[in-house]
């Protein structure tokens, strides 16, 4: 990499105690520590949310839109800006807490702008410009989703991101997870506090190590 750039997205609604934000910050700090050449483009999708797509034709590039489609110019410009940011990134870092078993709507809005067949995903003559680039998904979950538990299989946040970033974009995805984040605030979960803290500390180490590895790649 010449001038390596990290695209860092946060989507947690909690600006103070968010564990996903703490972990993405650990990653980004480690990335920056490798020198001034290691740049970061940052978007806080909660404090500066992206509007929902105002026109369905924006799901497609101009050459593939239905005849007569006229999406708002400002939305088209925003889409071009977001896609340019993504294509300029050597590494993508996505902070995605699990909300109601899925991803935050603010992050979904970003996906809707950048998932464009023939531009970022294969369709006709379009290829996969992001193929092989690393995408690091940092997720935090309030409860336990262990195999065999009543809530096993209820995580519909990470699978969506792996589908879009990995299968559609062709990126090399990795996932850093911390669970039981509600253990210290819900009395019935008090018995899980130690595990919650241990998972968080391991996730912090994983975030730093992943950033080091990618910075040296």
Ordered DSSP codes for 129-155: TTTT-EEEEEEE-SS---TTSTTTT--
d(CA 96, CA 71): 29
Q: Can you give the pLDDT of all 217 residues of the chain as single tens digits?
A: 568 999 999 999 999 999 999 999 999 999 999 999 999 999 999 999 999 999 999 999 999 899 999 999 999 999 999 999 999 999 999 999 999 999 999 999 999 999 999 999 998 776 789 999 999 999 998 888 888 778 788 889 999 999 999 999 999 999 999 998 888 889 988 889 999 999 999 999 999 999 999 999 8
Diameter over CA atoms, the chain: 60
Query: Domain spanning 5-216: which CATH class is it, in words?
Result: alpha beta
Domain ranges of the chain: 5-216
**CA gap 13, 29 in Å, rounded:** 21
Structure confidence at residue 150 (pLDDT): 81
What pLDDT is stored for residue 208 in this prediction? 98
In 126-192, where does DSSP find H-type helix?
A: 158-161
Q: Say what the pLDDT of residue 44 is.
A: 98
Provide the whole-model pTM: 0.94
Distance CA 51, CA 59 (A): 14
For 189, the 3-state DSSP assignment is helix
């Amino acid at each position: 990499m010449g001038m390596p750039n990290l695209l860092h997205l946060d989507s947690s609604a909690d600006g103070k105690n968010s564990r996903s934000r703490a972990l993405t910050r650990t990653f980004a700090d480690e990335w920056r520590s490798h020198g001034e050449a290691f740049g970061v483009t940052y978007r806080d999708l909660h404090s500066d949310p992206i509007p929902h797509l105002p026109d369905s034709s924006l799901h497609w590039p101009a050459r593939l839109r239905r005849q007569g489609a006229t999406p708002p110019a400002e939305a088209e410009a925003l889409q071009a800006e977001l896609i340019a940011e993504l294509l300029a990134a050597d590494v993508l870092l996505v902070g995605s807490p699990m909300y109601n078993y899925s991803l935050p709507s603010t992050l979904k809005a970003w996906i809707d702008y950048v998932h464009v067949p023939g531009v970022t995903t294969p369709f006709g003559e379009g290829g996969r410009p992001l193929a092989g680039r690393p995408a690091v998904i940092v997720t935090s979950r309030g409860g336990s989703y262990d195999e065999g538990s009543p809530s096993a299989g209820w995580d519909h946040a990470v699978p969506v991101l792996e589908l879009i970033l990995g299968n559609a974009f062709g990126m090399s995805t990795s996932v850093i997870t911390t669970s039981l984040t509600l253990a210290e605030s819900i009395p019935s979960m008090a018995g899980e506090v130690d595990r919650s803290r241990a998972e968080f500390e391991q996730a912090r180490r994983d975030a730093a190590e992943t950033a080091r590895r990618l910075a040296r790649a």
